[in-house]
Amino acid sequence: MDDVTTDLLIIGAGPTGLYAAYYAGFRGMSVTVVDSLPELGGQITAMYPEKAILDVAGFPSIKGRDLVEGLVAQAATASPTYLLDRTATTLEHGEDQVVVTLDDGTTVTARAVLITSGIGKFSPRPLPAGDGWVGRGMEFFVPSFAPYAGKDVVIVGGGDSAFDWAQHLEPVASTVTLVHRREAFRAHERTVAEVRASSVEIITSAQVTELRGDAHLEEVEITVDGQEPRVVPAQALVAALGFIADLGAIQRWGLVTEKRHVVVDSSMRTNLPRVFAAGDITDYPGKVRLIAVGFGEAATAVNNAAVVLDPSAHVFPGHSSEG
């Protein structure tokens, strides 16, 4: 890959990064987008393409893959250069530019950088009883519901992902059993109520203590606190125990971080010159981590970056409908 020169380098091709690419084009910037994943869409494409997303303005409900498709089409108006399946490793400042080197040796010289890499690289938290079962009936996320049709499915976890997948798999699978180690759940109350009202069996104060089967999963042992273990049929198990986030090389760039998030001000500026951040990776007082919030932060970051690139420009660009 030839080295790249661009007005704005966006690190992260999830929803916030894709919207930022569109908005940068709207402000007349040339745009380059880098992502460590081989496809656009970030975590949504990798983990939740079939998930119904309910908090995007204008869409009462939209599937993850459909949201990404729309964002990619919108970003295309900026004619962005995509550098996928590669990771930003180093960042250095020049007098009026930032130079970012990727893990394949490509150098991107940008007049400003916008970091929209979500939680960074992520790896699933392991299920202690699941060692050796990945690909044999156990998975960590559900990119498609069709493979679970007619199966007995056990989901382990008590967060949003566990309940979302339980809700979506309930009409597809033969049975769905949700196992959580505590009585309380971290998932959204509305989703918990809907799952409770469905045919999903919820077992709390419990752990999956053994997976059984020959070549493929056949049954799961569940142990409830103070009770004898119980065995249920299961041809599929989803370990929705969350993910361990790692900002990777970004942590070595000199950015001020707080609990693995990049600290920004109200303009989405970081402590480094010409470097902005938006979306789930950012932290500031009152931060809310929603896709909808990321869109607004992307627009704020790009509009403030526009003034860095051209001091005679205005932060407020006028409304897009005025053109």
List binding-site positions for FAD.
16, 35, 43, 48, 88, 122, 280, 321
Residue 322: how many CB atoms within 10 A of its CB?
Answer: 6
- Rounded Cα–Cα distance for residues 130 and 99 (Å): 43
Q: What residues are designated binding site?
A: 16, 35, 43, 48, 88, 122, 280, 321
DSSP 182-217: SSS--S-HHHHHHHHTSS-EEE-SEEEEEEEESSSE
CA separation (Å) from 48 to 35, 62, 289? Answer: 17, 12, 17
Question: Distance of CA 5 to CAs 2, 28, 104, 162, 306, Å?
Answer: 10, 15, 16, 43, 16
Token readout for 173 is 């699978």
The CA-to-CA distance between both ends of the chain, in Å, stands at 36
Report the greatest alpha carbon distance in the chain: 73
Distance CA 11, CA 148 (A): 34
Contacts of 149 (CB under 8 A, 6+ apart): 172, 173
Separation of alpha carbons 89 and 102, rounded Å = 5
Residue with tokens 């949700």: 178
CA 20 to chain centre: 16
